[in-house]
Structure 1
Amino acid sequence: MTARGVPPRPDGERLTVKRMAELLNVSTATISNAFNRPDQLSEARRRWILDECKRLGYMGPNAAARSLRTGRTGNVGVMLADNLAYSLTDPVASEFLHGLAEVFDQNRMNMLLLSSQDPDSEYRSHLQEAMVDGFIIYGWLSKGRTYDRLLQQGKPMVAVDFDLEGCTWVNIDNYEGARTSAEHALKTPPQRVSILGLRLVASDRVCRIEDRELFREQRAVSVRRLSGYLDALHAAGHDVPPERIWSTPTNDHPDAYQAAWEALNTGQRPDLLLCMSDRLALAAIQVALQMKLRIPEDLRIVGFDGIPEGNTLHPSLTTVYQQSAEKGRMAARLFLGEEQDRNVLIPTRLLVRESCP
């Protein structure tokens, strides 16, 4: 017997809800509630049941009868770094999901969208995770309980936009895209350069990075873009101090507008803005026009992403086009085994338009 009177799992024994109920001396309904209806149990009792299930190697009830028969559900879990509403409205994330959907539609597979931001996901997601054949993890997944739980399941995983140890990944060449765009902008030497960044530091407010610690490179897409900008600037003899680099916590318009307004209302207004997303750049164009600044004569602006809105306004946006839909298609094909298992770095393309000719 082990601590608290729970016997060890016999080698090779197939664990079921019924067997776990016997081992823990509780009802099958109690086991099911611990995974699927946490509000039905006290926190202490639910935690004890989940801990014992994890120790014995039981990952939760399998809700798909078809999976019991065939070992496959026909569902793919897409683990999102952001909440669902943000992921569906952000133009880059939605285009990525569209690329996934194209390939999965062709293969008659379904997507189950999951958010790693759910603070109670360890309890709520057991059933959902049991209903999928594997996971595509988009944006970021920190090492912790969710990460450990997914690894324990032994299901296929593909990481997108970050590197995950022991996992095939698909990334955009963010460094080279940013460096190329900065080199293009520097062909007309600027007097002052500022950078509008996205999630460069751990803050829930628009801020300058100053002495704040940047996210680790393998996590932050924006840190790779920042490295590309700074290397190009340094090679051209320009050094941008930290107080001229802004970080926004989201890619939404309010944060983008605030960062652009602050950058353009400093004592020494920049004449070149390097923006790590098109939404940041579009907000900067809006602020600049409200200030009666001429683009590109008074201010040149470069974005990153290549979203359609950048080409529909005047002045149109010079930007780095990343193949977001292709990123989704490649991740899906790797997951399904339609592509040779390998890490994929997708190139970007500079689109020169009116904001920085």
Structure 2
Amino acid sequence: MPRSRQPRPRATLASLAAELKISRTTVSNAYNRPDQLSAELRERVLLAAKQRGYPGPDPVARSLRTRRAGAVGLLLTEALSYSFRDPAAMSFLAGLAESCEAAGQGLLLIPAGPARDDAEAAAVVQQAGVDGFVVYSVADDDPYLAAVRERRLPTVICDQPRGVPGVSLIGIDDRAATRTVADHLIDLGHKEIGVLCMRLGHDRCDGVVDRERLHAPKFHVQRERIAGVQDALADAGLDPTSLTVVERSEHTARAGSSAAAQALAANPRITAFVCTTDVLALGALEWARREDVDVPGQLSITGFDGIEEALREGLTTVRQPQEDKGRRAGTLLLSRSDSGVATVETVETQLVAGRTTASPPGSVVEPDIAETA
């Protein structure tokens, strides 16, 4: 019987080097350090490798040898499916990816979700083959952040939490930024203002926020944005405790729509909404159109983030440079991997006065004394 043909053994770095009569280092350099070889020699190595089915040096072996994974881990503690629907998160991701690409680093999205317990969170983070972490906007007591810190790798936090020892931060002054929105509304004559916000804690809570929950939120960003409105009310001689705040556990336009209805049911005197995100504000605008409520004639609505859809709608909002924050987070992380120095960077925001704010109905503008003299 004719002998069966045995498959040709798969080429390895060593066998390829032996066949070409060059060193294994030369083969490796053809992939990892092409500047070390002449163009002709590199082409000869790559052609021989292709003909023999050699895929290149084993990246796992290389990472074990160099103790470098060549990748940055982005920790998003919302479900990845949600993160890819969030315009602000996607802008941040684009900026981070740009900085990683410029540095020749990969980007690993870590599938961290709110349903996992502390042990599962630790396992996910421990298994991530990365050289450092960018943590995107998590709660003060997030278990994934605790697991990241146990890795003792360079880490940069975007937005929240604040004041983590030894960890770099990129963010904005949320309190001051929202204060500009509230001041704008108060200057227009609004006294009854409602706030539509994202979740204040890990638990699912959809409704009017009571004082106890308002003073114990786990999310710095939401806490500070609400405080900015309270500061403006207090300085205008209005009662900050009268502020109607409605929380939503889901960050969608639909959630913003239902929150607007609930806030006005709780306090029909509201003439303006400060929404802590543009997504919620766009939902409030949808509700107003559906209910035939004139914006801004009967109700003023503001947002936060400056996403493209909000700007197209003419929404009064706070624009923050999300893509630049992503780029800066990557730069901070990759530079700190060498220096080991933690830094804090605060980027500027801008109030964009759009078509969704005006004086409340029935307001009277005081005449200028000089004009009546």
TM-score normalized with structure 1 length = 0.75
Q: Which residue of the partner structure matches residue 350 of structure 1? A: 351
Q: 1:149 to 1:312 in 2, by over 3 A?
A: closer
Q: What are the Cα deviations for residues 115-145 of structure 1, in whole angstroms up to 9, with x where unaligned?
A: 1536133334433x2x111111111155576
Distance 2:209 2:114 in 1: 24
**Matched residue type, 1:213:** R
Q: 1:125 to 1:69 in 2, by over 3 A?
A: same
Distance 1:242 1:116 in 2: 35
Q: Which residue of the partner structure matches residue 73 of structure 1? A: 69
Aligned partner (choices 151, 154, 162) of residue 152 of structure 2: 154
Asked if 1:192 is matched to 2:192, the reply is: yes
**Matched residue type, 2:92:** F
**Matched residue type, 1:92:** A
Asked if 1:253 is matched to 2:250, the reply is: no
Asked if 1:89 is matched to 2:85, the reply is: yes
Distance 2:274 2:144 in 1: 35
Distance 1:73 1:264 in 2: 52
Matches within 5 A, 1:249-328: 249-266=249-266, 268-313=268-313, 316-328=314-326
Identity of aligned residues (%): 30
Aligned partner (choices 103, 114, 117) of residue 117 of structure 1: 114
Q: Which residue of the partner structure matches residue 213 of structure 1? A: 213
Does the CA-based 8 Å contact 1:210-1:243 persist in structure 2?
Answer: no
**Matched residue type, 2:207:** C
Root-mean-square deviation (CA, aligned residues, Å) is 2.3
Report the Cα offset of residue 218 of structure 1. Answer: 7.4
Q: Which residue of the partner structure matches residue 136 of structure 1? A: 134
Report the Cα offset of residue 171 of structure 1. Answer: 1.2
Secondary structure of 2:304's counterpart equals coil
Report the Cα offset of residue 168 of structure 1. Answer: 0.9
Distance 1:167 1:285 in 2: 39
Does the CA-based 8 Å contact 1:134-1:156 persist in structure 2?
Answer: yes
Does the CA-based 8 Å contact 1:171-1:345 persist in structure 2?
Answer: yes
- Say how many residue pairs are matched: 291
Secondary structure of 2:250's counterpart equals coil
Distance 1:73 1:265 in 2: 54
Distance 2:342 2:122 in 1: 29
Where do 5+ consecutive residues of structure 2 fail to align? 1-58, 359-373
Q: 1:278 to 1:64 in 2, by over 3 A?
A: same
Q: 1:190 to 1:144 in 2, by over 3 A?
A: closer
**Matched residue type, 1:350:** L
Does the CA-based 8 Å contact 1:217-1:224 persist in structure 2?
Answer: no
**Matched residue type, 2:315:** L
Secondary structure of 2:281's counterpart equals helix
Distance 1:137 1:181 in 2: 28
Distance 2:90 2:247 in 1: 22
Distance 1:109 1:350 in 2: 35
Distance 1:107 1:262 in 2: 48
Largest Rg, 1 or 2: 2
Distance 1:265 1:210 in 2: 15
Q: What are the Cα deviations for residues 36-76 of structure 1, in whole angstroms up to 9, with x where unaligned?
A: xxxxxxxxxxxxxxxxxxxxxxxxxxx93221111211111
Distance 2:293 2:144 in 1: 48
Q: Which residue of the partner structure matches residue 8 of structure 2? A: none
Distance 1:116 1:159 in 2: 17
Report the Cα offset of residue 200 of structure 1. Answer: 2.6
Does the CA-based 8 Å contact 2:167-2:342 persist in structure 1?
Answer: no
